[in-house]
Structures are given as structure tokens and as C-alpha cells.
Chain A
């Protein structure tokens, strides 16, 4: 990372830290959710952008993370901060196990399998045999955590910083992971699977581990999101959530770490904007936004930013 990039990053973090003190509580809450989405998008981008495995079902891992956190707090009396890593690990295992049979599926077929997972999740969560844990269609209510004593922050502000800390940690880990040997192996598997195998990359292990790690990220995001919303219910995690996550990844920019942030801002705020433009058919406006975005920036916001930076530095 060059000094200019470091400087930029530092400024970004400073802005992120100032924001909750100038915005209202509701905006801070929305930003907290956007941060959680950014983590999930980063996870999905590892899988889809870097490794080339399309998932239309990551909403399911988001749901598993959210429910794990909610059940641990509600039934086992876990403190909220302790549920985050547990949710991540549960999703890591679930993702790895799902990734093993999915190894045989490629492209569309993997898309169908993950789509099935996404569609099935709300039905499974509602099922009678799990009702004792999941609360069936009623869901589980989570108590909103207070800031630790001695820290003069409102609940929303505290949750924002808590989520921001997790986001920074996970972005830092992903940055190191994807820039190094592992990242190159993932891209090699995406672009030239046979050549990668011939070079000695263990394709099978890498692919299912990527599934696991991306589920870990999405699960952590789900847990953070659930704590921010203070409620989990099956209908919050329909196939629509999975599609939204994929939209976020593509709009943000495939195979780009910073793209996760752009994508998260898009999926968090653009539906609101569409709603303000037309009360009658907000989703039509949203659809038009999606299509226009893809016309103007087919490689996502991150691709656009990269191109602009390139042009600027050349024109100097």
C-alpha cells in the first residue's frame, strides 16, 4: 500500500468515526446496517468475485449467523459480543459442508443449488421441529446492548463503533488474505482451473474453504445485523436478501475489496431513494437504477473509481 493510499484510508476511518456524532440516531443505525452488509458483501465477493463461484443463497448464511446470535443471547444468556465469533464459526462449518458437494457443480448449477438453499432457509426456520429454538414465524427479540460503563455513547452510537471495529478487523484480514498467495490461488482457480490444478493448487480444498470463509464473513455480518435490528424472523431472510447481496457485490465491483463498501451503501440507501422518487412503484425505480448502473459502470463502482484514478494519474 502506498503512502497516498494509507493517507486516504486514514481519512476514511476518521470520517467514519466522526459521522455518528453529527448524524441522528436513525441514520447511525442505518450506517451500522450498511457496515454489516459491507462485511457480508466482502465475504460473498471472495467467493463470487475472486473465486468465480456464483452464490444466490448467501442470505441463508446471513440468516444462520443472525439466528445463532439471537438464540445464544435468548436461550443461553451469552453477552452480545461473545455471539459474534460463535456465529462466524457456525457459518464457517455450514459453508464448508455445503461447499463440499457443491464442488461438483459449476456456474448455473451452483447458482441453482445455492438458490435452493436461499429459498429453503425461511421454510426451515419456520419448521415445527425448530420452533422451540427459533420461535417459529414469530422470531426472537434481542435486547439492545448498552455501551460499556464509563463510555458516554448512546446505544446506537456504541453499536456503530462495535460494528465498525469488526468491519475494520475483517477487512484487514481479507486484504492480507486476498493480496497474497491465497488470493492468487483463488483467482487462478477462477480464470484457469485446469492450469491452476496443474500448478499444484489443491482446487477442491481451496474452493470449499473459500465457501467456508465467505460464509464466516456473512455469518458475522448476520449476527451484527441482528443485534442492530434487535429482532430476527424467518421473513427477514427470504431469497430477496440473497439477491440483494449479489446485487451489492456486482454494483460495488467484482473482485474488489473496496467494492464491498460501495455495494453496501447502494443496497442500504438506494431503496429509500427509490421510495422517495415514486411511492406508487418504488421497485420499478430501483430496477431502473440497477440497469442504469450496469450501463454506466459494467464493472461496478470500484471499477469506475479505478478507471477514473488511472485517467487522472495519466493526464498529469
Chain B
């Protein structure tokens, strides 16, 4: 029982990471109806930026906010420069462009920073909080950061005019354009937000998995699974899905052995999706002839 509690709690902690990457995926999905395969590598690259800043002597939170801002700008530029020329092409061409971005970011990071593993600092104390030995302070802290980001995203989309315009542009680009929403820029903004959220996730996960160019590989897969499990059009659902995937992964690891835990977790997720294809919180779309 003790083991189970421990695994569930540390599952929640890693789940928080999946949740924030899942949230970034949902952001781009909301804006463009596409899943960005390069999301994880963008986050990894942003994390390297934070690391470089810290090596240069910038204090932790300073580096954190500079990186998030830079990731936002980078995401906007990426959309304007790289994605826009193929915006209206077949969906699969865009998927290939994403895969292209993925290998570019991965390869360039490896080229600049080499593939050796680097330790990454955590802003949270090394002592467990509240005398609780089940989870580390970092795990608690990063889950807290994820939930804060989720809250900010929710407030942004629910209560600000810009958030409303972004939602409108995603849902009905033609009508939005008619009432004066600059749809193209809304997409770019969506990319900016997504890469900023991804940067937060990267910085939060780096102390756990260590910093290296391939650090987001597995995480992106779990985030993808979490986003689909919770419902790709529901930010809250995606976050919950991320947590569920994290717990599932850890618990499966304990009871069925670690070598197949990836497989079993994925099989369970696909099983859930076969029963409820729209995800747990996704909208069910009804087609009409």
C-alpha cells in the first residue's frame, strides 16, 4: 500500500510535466487544429536557453522569465516564417514540416551543446515540504507551476478580449475576419503561447530528467496521449489527462514490470479512446449529411 501511494504521488508529479506539454499541444490545436510534433523539441531548446542564461550568471527566476518571453517571441516568429507558407497545404505536408522542425531543433541543440547530460537547477528547496517524504519539493513545486499556468490560460481565454478573438479565429476564421479579427496573427499568437507554455514545462522537467537534446522524446508521447485522453479541444481535460497518464505509467511500472510500461500505458489509453473516441472531456461532434 505504501508503495502504491508513493507511486501514485510521484506519478502525479511526472503527470504535471505531461500536463503542461499537453496544454501546449492543446493551445496549438485550438488555434490551428493541428498537433505540433516539434513541441517537445521547442521546449527542450528553450530549456537550453535558460541553462545558458544561468551559466552566464543570471539568477534563476530572471532566466526563467527571459526564457519564457523569448520562447513566446520565437514561437510567433516560427509561425510567421516557417509555418505560414504551408498553412493552406494538405494537413500531412504540415505534419512533415513539424517533423522537419523536430529533427532540426534536436540536431542543432546536439551540435551546439553536445549530447552529454547536464544537471539543471531546481528553484525549490531540497528539503521535502511539510515533512512529507513521498514527493520531493520539486515535484510538488512543478505541479503547482503547471496548475498556475493552467489557471492563467483559462483566465486569458475566458475573460480577455484577445482570448475571445483567438477562440473566434480558431472556430470560424471566415466570420472572424469579417468582424475585424486578424486571424493570421491570432494563429501566430497561439504558437507564441504554446511555445511559452512548452518552455515552462521544459524548465520544470529538466531537473528530473536532466538536460539533453532527447529529453522530451518520451514526454511528448505521453503528453500527446494525455491530451487525447482528456480531449484535445479541452485545456482542462488535457491537464487532467496528463496527470492520469503520469499515474498510470508509474502504477503499471510497479505491477507489470518496467520494460513494458510504455506499451501497457499506451494500450490502456488507446483502449479508453476506442470506448470514448472524443476523449474524456472532448466535445462529441455529430456529423450531419
Which chain A residues have a beta carbon within 8 Å of chain B's beta carbons?
48, 54, 101, 104-106, 108-109, 111-113, 115-116, 119-120, 123-124, 126-127, 194-195, 198, 243, 246-247, 249-251, 254, 280-284, 286-291, 293-295, 298-299
CA distance A290 to B97 in the complex (A): 7
Residue of B nearest to A106 (CB): B277
Across the interface, do A119 and B92 meet the contact criterion of CB distance under 8 Å?
no
Across the interface, do A123 and B259 meet the contact criterion of CB distance under 8 Å?
yes
CA distance A112 to B270 in the complex (A): 8
Across the interface, do A299 and B90 meet the contact criterion of CB distance under 8 Å?
yes
5 other contacts beyond A112-B270, A291-B104, with CB at 8 A cut-off?
A105-B270, A113-B270, A287-B99, A291-B96, A293-B96
Across the interface, do A298 and B86 meet the contact criterion of CB distance under 8 Å?
yes
User: Which residues of A are found within 8 Å of B287, using beta-carbon distances?
Assistant: 194
User: Which residues of B are found within 8 Å of A115, using beta-carbon distances?
Assistant: 221, 224
Across the interface, do B100 and A290 meet the contact criterion of CB distance under 8 Å?
yes
User: Which residues of A are found within 8 Å of B94, using beta-carbon distances?
Assistant: 294
User: Which residues of A are found within 8 Å of B101, using beta-carbon distances?
Assistant: 287, 291
Across the interface, do B97 and A294 meet the contact criterion of CB distance under 8 Å?
yes
Residues 92-109 of chain B, each 1 if its beta carbon lies under 8 Å from chain A, else 0 = 111111011111101110
CA distance A287 to B100 in the complex (A): 4
**Closest 10 A-B residue pairs measured CB to CB?**
A290-B100, A287-B104, A298-B89, A116-B266, A283-B107, A284-B107, A120-B263, A281-B111, A287-B103, A287-B100
Across the interface, do A109 and B259 meet the contact criterion of CB distance under 8 Å?
no
**Contact among B108, B110, B225 for A112, CB-based, below 8 A:** B225
A-B contacts, 18 of them at CB < 8 A, read: A104-B277, A105-B274, A105-B277, A108-B232, A119-B262, A119-B266, A194-B287, A194-B289, A243-B99, A247-B96, A247-B99, A250-B93, A284-B111, A290-B100, A290-B103, A295-B86, A298-B86, A299-B90
B69 near A: Cβ within 8 Å?
A: no
Residues 245-270 of chain B, each 1 if its beta carbon lies under 8 Å from chain A, else 0 = 00000000000000110110011011
B228 near A: Cβ within 8 Å?
A: yes
B82 near A: Cβ within 8 Å?
A: yes
Across the interface, do B93 and A294 meet the contact criterion of CB distance under 8 Å?
yes
Residue of B nearest to A249 (CB): B92
CA distance A140 to B224 in the complex (A): 33
**Contact among B85, B95, B263 for A250, CB-based, below 8 A:** B95
B140 near A: Cβ within 8 Å?
A: no
Across the interface, do B107 and A282 meet the contact criterion of CB distance under 8 Å?
yes
Q: How many whole Å from A193's CB to the nearest CB in chain B?
A: 8
Residue of B35, B82, B101, B270 contacting most chain A CB atoms (<10 Å): B270
Q: How many whole Å from B62's CB to the nearest CB in chain A?
A: 30
Across the interface, do A116 and B270 meet the contact criterion of CB distance under 8 Å?
yes
Provided the pairs A108-B232, A109-B273, A250-B93 are in contact, do residues A123 and B262 lie with their beta carbons within 8 angstroms?
Answer: yes
Provided the pairs A250-B93, A281-B107 are in contact, do residues A291 and B100 lie with their beta carbons within 8 angstroms?
Answer: yes
Across the interface, do B107 and A291 meet the contact criterion of CB distance under 8 Å?
no
